[in-house]
Amino acid sequence: VRVEADLRAAIQKSEIIPYYQPLVDLKTNRIIGFEALARWKTASGEFIPPNEFIPVAEEAGLIVELTDQLLRHACTDALSWPSELVLSFNLSPIQLSDRLLGLRILKILGDVGLPPHRVELEVTESAIIQDAVTARIVLDDLVNAGVRIALDDFGTGYSSLSQLSNYRFDKIKIDRSFVSSFETNDKQDKVIKAIIALGVGLGVTITAEGIEEESQLQRLQDLGCDIGQGYLLGRPAPAEKLATDRVSAR
Ligand code: G
Ligand code: G
Ligand code: MN
Ligand code: NA
The residue ranges of every structural domain in the chain are 2-241
Reported confidence tier of residue 46, pLDDT bands at 50, 70, 90:
very high
pLDDT in tens, 98-134: 999 999 999 999 999 999 999 999 999 888 888 889 9
Whole-number pLDDT of residue 60? 94
Whole-number pLDDT of residue 187? 86
Q: What number does the ligand 2 atom closest to the CA of 173 have? A: 3
Alpha carbon separation from 147 to 9, 118, 139, 160 (Å, rounded): 31, 7, 9, 22
Reported confidence tier of residue 245, pLDDT bands at 50, 70, 90:
low
Residue 2 has pLDDT above 80, yes or no: no
Instruction: Give yes or no for residue 176 CB within 6 A of ligand 2.
Output: yes
Whole-number pLDDT of residue 6? 93
Beta-bridge partner residues of 20: 36, 237
Separation of alpha carbons 100 and 224, rounded Å = 38
Reported confidence tier of residue 181, pLDDT bands at 50, 70, 90:
confident
Long-range pairs for 41-46: beta carbons < 8 A, 24 or more residues apart: 41/15, 41/16, 41/17, 42/10, 42/15, 43/15
Q: What number does the ligand 1 atom closest to the CA of 91 have? A: 22
Contact 237, 19 (CB under 8 A): yes
Spatial CA neighbour of 17 closest among 61, 47, 60, 58:
47
Q: Other C-beta atoms within 10 Å of 206: how many?
A: 25
Residue with the smallest CA separation from ligand 2 atom 10 is 37
Contact 37, 54 (CB under 8 A): no
Whole-number pLDDT of residue 164? 83
Q: Element (H or E) spanning 102, and its range?
A: helix 101-112
Question: What is the C-alpha end-to-end distance of the chain, expressed in Å?
Answer: 44
Whole-number pLDDT of residue 179? 92
Residue 137 has pLDDT above 80, yes or no: yes
d(CA 156, ligand 4 centre) in Å:
9
Instruction: Give yes or no for residue 152 CB within 6 A of ligand 2.
Output: yes
Strand, helix or coil at 116?
helix
Pick the CATH number of 2-241 from 3.40.50.12710, 3.90.180.10, 3.20.20.450, 3.90.1330.10: 3.20.20.450
Instruction: Give yes or no for residue 90 CB within 6 A of ligand 2.
Output: yes
ipTM of predicted assembly, 2 dp: 0.96
Question: In degrees, to the nearest 5, what angle opens at C-alpha 240 toward C-alphas 231 and 211?
Answer: 10
The ligand placed nearest to the CA atom of residue 88 is 3
Separation of alpha carbons 121 and 172, rounded Å = 11
Reported confidence tier of residue 80, pLDDT bands at 50, 70, 90:
very high
Instruction: Among 7, 51, 153, name the best residue to mutate to test ligand 1's pocket (greatest count of ligand atoms within 8 A of Cβ).
Output: 51
Ligand 1: which residues within 6 Å by Cβ? 37-38, 49-51, 54, 70, 90-92, 236
Spatial CA neighbour of 96 closest among 127, 62, 70, 69:
127
Whole-number pLDDT of residue 1? 56
Instruction: Give yes or no for residue 92 CB within 6 A of ligand 2.
Output: no
d(CA 64, ligand 2 centre) in Å:
23
d(CA 49, ligand 1 centre) in Å:
8
pTM: predicted TM-score of the whole model, two decimal places: 0.95
Whole-number pLDDT of residue 183? 74
